[in-house]
Amino acid sequence: MFKNKIHHIGIIVPNEEQVNFLLKLMGLERGHSVYVKEYQANCIFGKEEGRLLEFIVPDTNSKLSKFNNGLGGIHHLAIETPDIETTTSYLEKEFEINFLESQPVIAGDLLINFLSPIMTRGIIIEFVQKI
């Protein structure tokens, strides 16, 4: 149904200083960033082929700022799909899986939607479609 290709790993961090520290620590250059209004967070990607990490810096009042008791950490695994509508429809019907959003959210050049972590025993999976 979908490519089963890992698109990125999302990591929540408290601030830009932590992003810069982690980029330097991992030997990555800073890539593009996008602010996702629905989640009140700035998403910054590392710029290295085959090692795509997303650093998520939530606003203070964002629901993401409380992740892991406010400490942040690895948040999600993103899987790339060629057609997010078809994939979500298939998963909802085939496995009775619920998604967090009723419709995919625009995040820069991506459409995204998350499986409810209840369905995967705590693993947050995001499906992404390039637009």
Residue 49 contacts by C-beta under 8 Å, 6 or more apart in sequence?
none
Q: Look up residue 38 and give its two tokens.
A: 């629905």
Three-state secondary-structure class, residue 20: helix
Based on the structure, what is the number of domains in the chain? 1
Q: Look up residue 84 and give its two tokens.
A: 């997010």
Q: For residue 3, what pLDDT is reported?
A: 62
Alpha-helix runs per DSSP H in the chain: 16-26, 84-95
Give the global pTM.
0.90
- pLDDT (tens digit, 9 = 90+) per residue, 101-128? 999 999 999 999 999 888 888 899 999 9
Domain that holds residue 97: 5-130
CATH number at residue 120: 3.10.180.10
Instruction: Give the number of residues written for the chain.
Output: 131
